[in-house]
Amino acid sequence: MDGYEIAYNVIMSDQFIMGGQLHPQQTSKAIRLCCVRSYVVTENKGKKLIRSQECIFHDQEGLFIHVHIPKDVVAKYKNIFKEGKVYGIRNFLCITNFFKYKTSPHRYMMKFKHDTLVKEYKRVNFPKTMFCFKSFEDILSKQGIDEKVLIDVLGRIVEIYSPLEKLIAGKKARLIDFVLEDSSQRQIKCTLWDEHVDQLMNKETDNH
């Protein structure tokens, strides 16, 4: 029996909590979540030295939960999480969500440690809430919008401006502005930074 089979048996023997029950004093139970995003954060831009792995999950009620994996345990979990897959997780820490710009409105987030147990569930009836869309109307009116919580926006690019290089806070930054339009022809001007500039330019090239 390998480590993940042991983890499976341990997790299955416990009652799952929901995301809304996460609290620093409630970490003895397991939680079952669907992976929305998984990405690594490097020490500096353009560097390969990993500072942490960050993951966004949602529970069965669609509540988004952020998971922070410190660099000392990233190697153990780096290749485990796949977007859209469901996992049972146990032996985690629950800490205050310390990010300035958050992927979840939850007051707390989960932090992995060396003995955190993870098990993928391949046959489970679990809802998929992969995006947190906000309408252009809500964004323009700022109704129900927390500017420090990241959201998803869906629209058609109708105009792209030339990339610019600016000095911001003493550091060189590359940015590009573009205009998104929704089905009601409302428009929003957007800006992408640094490595995302080339991603947008490549998509524009592909469309031609």
Alpha carbon 186 to its chain's center: 27
Give kind and range of the element (H or E) at residue 57: strand 50-58
Position 171 scores a pLDDT of 83
Q: Look at residue 149 and tell me if it is in a domain.
A: no
- Which residue type is seen at 80? I
Contact 83, 33 (CB under 8 A): no
- Which parts of the chain have pLDDT scores under 70? 1-14, 45-47, 204-208
Using the 3D structure, point to which of 68, 95, 121 is the last residue of a domain.
121
Position 12 scores a pLDDT of 47
Report in angstroms the alpha-carbon separations of 187 from 115, 136, 158.
Answer: 48, 8, 9
pLDDT tens readout for residues 147-190: 999 999 999 999 999 999 988 878 888 999 999 999 999 999 99
Domain count, the chain: 2
pLDDT tens readout for residues 71-80: 999 999 989 9
* Domain limits for position 184: 155-207
Give the Cα separation of 76 and 57 in Å (integer): 18
